[in-house]
Amino acid sequence: MHDKREFSWYVIFLWIGLFSVGLVAIYSATQGPVSQFLPAHIQGNFTRQVIWIAISIVVLISFQFVSPRAFQGLSYLFYAVCLILAVVTVFVGIEVGGGRRWLNIFGFRLQISEFLKLATVLAVANYLTHRRNLSANNLKTALVTVLIILVPAVVIIMQNDTGTALVLLVLIPVVLFWSGLPYDLSLFIVSPAIIGYFSIIDIKLGLIAALFIAVAIFLLQKQVWLTTTSIVVGLVVVLGFEVGLQHILQPHQRARIEAFVNPSLDPQGAGWNVLQAKTAIGSGGLQGKGFMEGTQTQLRFLPEQWTDFIFCVIGEEFGFIGSSIVLLLFALLLLRLLKMAAHHKHPFAQLVFIGVIFIYFAHFVVNVGSATALLPIMGVPLPFVSYGGSAFLANTMMLAICLNLYYNKRSFSIYR
């Protein structure tokens, strides 16, 4: 049969659109009228981002000449290497902002956790490839899958990078549900995150969420043991968040959560970033204040505007229209990747697509949610838009692998 191959240029155009918007925002945030007051290394962020984009373009092209079987065959080795490097980073990594997240490798300062996310996606996809159709009685596979994701998440937390770890944990319910885990078990696994979110806002809301989830689990399969367990887990999560907020979290982490709930309590301290972010986006109006004309951006009311709060730069200087363009580009990219996954027959490729899609989606939700005060500030970059060489390269590698798998979808046999 004729082996028709199809390269998705549509994805490439969306990718170019996103990083082009990012370059414009990074330039404005680092090269504006008062940029001379910024440290020299910050002023060089735009140039470094251009260099990383050039490197990523070479990597993306190179990946298209790799056999798709190589990504599956080397997945466990890549996972092990990244995990070891992440552990090494905890002890001897470069310390910035109270966390050790970077290693100096061959002159490049790399954030290993970014590549560990990709390695985890590949390892989980490989493991689940021949273990599809999970059931309530096949929890061993589910537990091993959770372990593959949980171990790197714990290591990343040890690097004081809770936001990246939470993004990684999003994979657990997603890949298990995609592999056939029943609805009730899938909801049970994701329930702590849902209950935790409402518990942050108010303990009573957390209890109400736990009750609704327990009722939903019972209605799905009418399994009393799972319903009872979900109630117990819900109570533990609610109490755990209350105890953790008061006695376990570090002061700066606790301040972020309190600022999320009510930023006006400390407008000059913990609530500053939240209030300034909302002000920047809200002041942009429909069309924005114009390129390099945003007062919040140019007067540096927000820290890390080129990374964590880059969406605020876009919202202030390009308004609702500019923000909507970014949202639209992301939505089109995710929908296209989802369509590509649906057209692929190989389970490994499908799981890789789903893992990549939801890592992008989690980053997008957390970053934009933090900028708009819908979520606590977690320090998560916006894929392809925020400044960051390691993040941009790792995200491009994910995209490159998806393009490769789709291009070779007919020749990539389901048999090893």
pLDDT for res 74: 94
* Range ranked top by mean pLDDT from 154-158, 192-196, 199-203, 228-232: 154-158
Q: Does the structure show a pLDDT above 90 at 42?
A: no
Q: Which of 45-54, 155-164, 216-225 has the lowest mean pLDDT?
A: 216-225
Q: Does the structure show a pLDDT above 50 at 312?
A: yes
Please name the helix (run of DSSP H) or strand (run of DSSP E) that holds residue 95, with its range, or none. strand 94-96
Cα distance between residue 5 and residue 349, in whole Å: 15
Q: Does the structure show a pLDDT above 70 at 141?
A: yes
Write the pLDDT tens digit of every residue in 109-129. Answer: 889 999 999 999 999 999 988
Q: Answer whether 195's CB lies under 8 Å from 209's CB.
A: yes
Mean pLDDT of 225-245: 78
CA atoms within 13 A on the CB side of 410: 7
Please name the helix (run of DSSP H) or strand (run of DSSP E) that holds residue 402, with its range, or none. helix 389-407
Q: Does the structure show a pLDDT above 60 at 414?
A: no
Q: Which comes out higher in pLDDT, residue 412 or 68?
A: 68
Q: Answer whether 159's CB lies under 8 Å from 99's CB.
A: yes
Question: What would the two tokens of residue 113 be?
Answer: 């956790």
pLDDT for res 272: 67
Average pLDDT, the chain: 83
Write the pLDDT tens digit of every residue in 286-300. Answer: 888 888 888 787 777
Residue 239 burial (C-beta neighbours within 10 Å; 0-12, 13-18, 19+): middle
Residue 46: band (very low, low, confident or very high) from pLDDT cuts 50, 70, 90: very high
Residue 1: band (very low, low, confident or very high) from pLDDT cuts 50, 70, 90: very low
Write the pLDDT tens digit of every residue in 52-100. Answer: 999 999 999 999 999 999 999 999 999 999 999 999 998 887 877 667 7
Question: What would the two tokens of residue 388 be?
Answer: 């960051």
- Enumerate residues 6+ apart whose C-beta is below 8 A from 278: 372, 373
Residue 260: band (very low, low, confident or very high) from pLDDT cuts 50, 70, 90: low
pLDDT for res 238: 79
pLDDT for res 109: 84
pLDDT for res 232: 85
Mean pLDDT of 188-206: 77
pLDDT for res 257: 63
Q: Could you tell me if residue 376 is left (phi over 0), alpha (psi between -120 and 50 degrees) or otherwise beta? A: beta
Pairing of strands 108-111, 94-96: unpaired
